[in-house]
Amino acid sequence: MTATPARRPTGFYPVFLNLRGRRAVVVGGGAVAEQKVLGLLDAGAHVTVVSRETTPRLEDLAAQGAIEVRRRPYRRGDLADAWLAIAATDDRAVNDAVWAEAEEEGIPLNAVDDLDHCSFIAPAIHREGDVTVAVSTSGKSPALAVRLRDRIAKLIGPAEARLCDLLGELRRELGARVPDARARTELWYRIVDSDVVEFVRRGDMGGARRRIDHLVGGTVASARPQPNRERGIVYLVGAGPGDPGLITVKGLEILRSADVVVYDRLVHPALVDQAPSGAERVFVGKHARGGGGGRSPEQTEIDELLIERARRGRVVVRLKGGDPFVFGRGAEECQALRAAGIAVQVIPGVTAAIAAPGAAGIPVTHRRYASAFAVVTGHQCEGASALDWEALARMPTLVVLMGLSALPEITARLLAHGADPDTPAAVVASGTLPAQRVVVGTIATIAALVTEAELDPPATVVVGEVVRVGRLVRERAPRRAAAAVRP
């Protein structure tokens, strides 16, 4: 028989200790010791401090009877009856003595900034109600642990704490309704991955309970279609201009709760990956020019898809590049969904009309050059156009989305309606992405320059004096690093 090779230890084993009513000893009375004492008191421990001198805060706690203070140096026997100990001194000899007693008595010890004398590590902690997050670097970098803790803390607020309370209240009930352990585990994940937290965030605890009840019902019901099953919801989520880090916090949170993700071509793959692993992913974008890939779906087909999935009781995320209501046909989808009786909510996004020029250093407004700007779509610039080109030619800043193929016609129309040929113009391709490229010229030259540069869509056209400001910004700015979606 082949022996199984021993696993190599990889670090400390994370646990949460119940210190309520248990004795903890802190050796040291300085600022670090004070922080350790406060953490122990928060956990309900009975704290004894051993130190000749203590901070004013520890003095106050002692005066209130919240802690015991032994005003002398540490001596052997101070850990008697302790359940855990912390050495918060700068004296390695003292740490060595405390360590010896702790090891002999089997008492867990943390020696601050002295990893060799630690049998446990005190992590960086964030608490929100009964939700506790602890981050440890195995003692190698407490500062990094704190910064990581702070990032995680931004994702956990009062809504998550209230949701935790609600799930705690329902735990016994759900155990009775779903007795199979595996099915119950899957159900808990469905609940916390769903949009229940959105009901809690709005203060609609009744709605949260009904949503959970619906999810429970789906678990215990048979697999046969349910004609009277409660309908789901569709979220129209703006994915931002390209860089996956520019989706809103709320948009990312909703995406991570999706049962179905319906997405466009310009949505970054890293965002689609943020959906739960079991979520259905449906691509409905128009295929890239010359890229083949078959027929692109019609808008009516997309509407029918959203309605059909929502009627199955799913949480459907319609993920759209930029903002859903800026040339994204989001309003049409809202109308179709509401006409079908489907609940729908819009999560606005960062539009490329502002973000792409901004990523190139071009402000769409400027106190000196432009107090107004207009945004049009390139689809309205080719052939017959209902746009007021005379008004657009006078606009301080003109932004054209999806205007690359129509650029020669755009510039010709502006010139024909009185625009100055020397007015600065720029085209930002793949704005906010690492592949971003910027071509700068004038109304008279920009089309030829773009052709020479062989830019590919998506691209945003900007016309106006603000382009000059952008050139100065780009010349002085460091290289831009692409943002990343954080887990």
The owner of tokens 């129209």 is 236
* pTM for this entry: 0.59
DSSP, collapsed to helix, strand or coil, labels residue 220 as helix
- 386 versus 85: the higher-pLDDT residue is 85
> 406 and 383 in contact (C-beta within 8 Å)?
no
Bond preceding residue 458 cis, omega within 30 of 0: yes
pLDDT tens digits for range 222-271: 333 444 445 689 999 999 999 999 999 889 888 988 899 999 988 999 99
Backbone angles phi, psi at 439, to 5 degrees: -115, 130
Mean pLDDT of the chain: 87
Please check the confidence at residue 221 and state whether its pLDDT lies above 70: no
- 217 versus 243: the higher-pLDDT residue is 243
pLDDT at 65: 94
> 259 and 280 in contact (C-beta within 8 Å)?
yes
Place 471 in a pLDDT band, splitting at 50, 70 and 90: low
DSSP, collapsed to helix, strand or coil, labels residue 85 as strand
Q: How far is Cα 344 from Cα 469, in angstroms, rounded to an integer?
A: 41
The owner of tokens 């949505």 is 267
DSSP, collapsed to helix, strand or coil, labels residue 376 as strand
Domain ranges for the chain, please list them. Answer: 23-122, 158-220, 233-350, 353-476
Which of 255-269, 324-338, 382-396 has the lowest average pLDDT? 382-396
How would CATH label the architecture of 23-122?
3-Layer(aba) Sandwich (3.40)
Which of 33-42, 216-225, 232-241 has the lowest average pLDDT? 216-225
pLDDT tens digits for range 340-380: 999 999 999 999 999 999 999 999 999 888 999 999 988 77
Distances (CA, A) of 486 to 154, 161, 318: 12, 21, 21
pLDDT at 92: 87
Q: Quick one: fold of 233-350?
A: Cobalt-precorrin-4 Transmethylase; domain 1 (3.40.1010)
Q: Is 353-476 assigned to CATH 3.30.950.10?
A: yes
In 10 A of CB 433, how many CB atoms?
18
Catalytic site residue from 195, 264, 303, 323: 264
Known active-site residue 286: yes
pLDDT tens digits for range 141-167: 888 988 998 888 888 889 999 999 999
Nearest to 241 by CA among 264, 261, 215, 212: 264
Furthest-apart CA atoms within the chain: distance in Å: 94
Q: How far is Cα 140 from Cα 113, in angstroms, rounded to an integer?
A: 9
Do 23-122 and 233-350 share a fold? no
Nearest to 238 by CA among 225, 250, 220: 250
Nearest to 424 by CA among 449, 405, 390: 449
pLDDT at 426: 95
Of the ranges 22-31, 137-146, 149-158, 169-178, which is most confident? 22-31
Percentage of the chain lying above the pLDDT 90 cut: 59
Catalytic site residue from 286, 388, 420, 422: 286
Place 484 in a pLDDT band, splitting at 50, 70 and 90: very low
The H helix count followed by the E strand count for the chain is 17, 17
